[in-house]
Amino acid sequence: MISLSIKCAVIALASAVSVCASAQTAMSVQDCMKYAVSNSTKMRIQQAAKSDARIARRDAVLALFTPQVQAQTYAYYNFGRSIDPQTNTYFNTTSFHNNYGVDAGLDLFNGFQAVNNYRISRTSLLIADSQQKQAEAEICLAVMEAYYNVVYYQRLADIYEEQVDVARQAVAKARRQEELGQKGHADVIQMEAEMAEREYDLINARNSYESQRMTLEDLMFWPADSTLVVVTSTPSPFSGASETNVESTIDFALGHNPALMEASLRLKNAKTELSTARWQILPTVSVYAGWQTSYYTYQGTSGNKSFRDAFRNNGGEYVELALKIPIWNRLNRHSQIARKRSAFEKASAEYDQKRRDIESEVRRAVQDCEGSARAYMQALRKGEVQAEAYQLNLKKLDQGLISLLEFQTATGNYLRSQADEMKSLYEYLIKEAVVKYYNGIDYVNQ
């Protein structure tokens, strides 16, 4: 009675889970990629970096076109000997001094540092944008691979489940034939062993499905209290890979790939920084302008003015032109030039390496796509032949024309052909998506 209650509870729980899963809309690979991009911490980090780049550009613009403006004031009491500002003589008395001032300064020439910093800030913003696109592409590709792994093991589990049902029917039929004396006990045991093998394969496929589904959920930052449901339907019929012009794909990738664009922008920044360091050995010219006033009183004297009169009468303006000539700073500027030259050479080498990597990646991607297309076509033909052979052998087994061992071999070949067909199809879809990406189509838009 208790066992029956537990069984009923398990059936009810399974029904509830099935209802919840069916109520949730199944997500396609594009849906999964969009969800992952919108919830990934990598994208949030890149967005923060891009925001910092915008702030740096704003600061560079203000430094280039606007002066520095500041206001200051101070007040102090002086006890003992001091200088009378009216007579310019020393006397002993307590005095109070209060000063106010406003000034502004602008660098007229500082080795084009402000101009180059503005150029670097603009390039840095483009670098941040390229890094964001790279992060999005990496997330999408990882999600796509995990998604197709989930679909593969789900469909593989469905195939094994069908085989388990067939094996159970065959075992039931063999037991009945044993009772009628048409089969021996050894044949029944062998068929039960075949059924156990199929059940073992089914459990492994389901375990792999759960593992890959958890991987996909982690990549997508899927809520832990919800189960992800994906579309497992077969993609549109495959008609063969279209011809891809390798050289045109390489040319497009070299001009538009975010990783290469980042390397190119970093090389540009390194060149600008080297130019800035070289100009720093020249003098700098700055201009300043300001206004200031003061108020003071002396204890025990009768000539103290009111604050309003002193504030107005003591006010004055000034304009200053400053020229700073670097003579000796312990070779800091020359060391800076040497470091920037090394940084430029490093950025140049990294750009050349990235360019070579992109060319190799494109050629490999196109070759892999064409190779996976041929492999899938062959797997498709092999699957059709093995499916037909399996059906014929199943009829022969029912008629007693083949041994159980021969049927097991045919069944294994049939299952492997189905698994190879699905695996080669999903590999081709991933390789094709990579080629499209190098041709300028983002993963989420394919």
Per-residue pLDDT tens digits for 79-124: 877 777 667 787 788 888 899 999 999 999 998 999 999 999 999 9
Q: Is 174 within the bounds of a domain? A: no
Structure tokens at 176: 């009945």
What percent of the chain stands above pLDDT 90? 64
Q: Encode pLDDT of 115-162 as tens digits.
A: 999 999 999 999 999 999 999 999 999 999 999 999 999 999 999 998
pLDDT at res. 16? 38
Q: Is residue 176 part of a domain?
A: no
- Its domain, for residue 425, covers 234-282+331-446
Residue 4 falls inside a structural domain: no
pLDDT at 196: 92
What percent of the chain stands above pLDDT 70? 91
Q: Is residue 212 part of a domain?
A: no
Q: What is the mean pLDDT of the chain?
A: 88
Q: Is residue 436 part of a domain?
A: yes
Which pLDDT score is estimated for 85?
67
Query: HSE-up of 236 (CA within 13 Å, CB side)?
Result: 2
* Number of separate domains in the chain: 1
Give pLDDT, residue 241: 57
Length of the chain (residues): 446
Q: Which pLDDT band holds residue 400 (cuts at 50, 70, 90)?
A: confident
pLDDT at position 237 is: 54
State whether residue 268 is helix, strand or coil. Answer: helix
pLDDT band at 240 (very low <50, low <70, confident <90, very high): low
Q: Which helix (H) or strand (E) holds 200?
A: helix 185-220
342: tokens are 């090394």
Q: How far apart are CA 228 and CA 25, in angstroms?
A: 9
Question: Rounded to two decimals, what is the model's pTM?
Answer: 0.80
Across 296-317, average pLDDT: 84
Q: Tell me the CATH number at 407.
A: 1.20.1600.10
Report, as an integer, the average pLDDT of 428-443.
94
Structure confidence at residue 3 (pLDDT): 39
Domain for residue 259, yes or no?
Answer: yes
CA dist list (Å): 386 to 125, 393, 416: 57, 10, 9
Kindly state whether residue 345 falls inside one of the protein's structural domains.
yes
Does a structural domain hold residue 380? yes
1, pLDDT greater than 50 = no
pLDDT in the model for residue 236: 60
* pLDDT at residue 202 in the model: 94
Q: Which residues contact 230 (CB under 8 A, 6 or more apart)?
A: 26, 27, 28, 29, 32, 147, 150, 151, 154, 213, 216
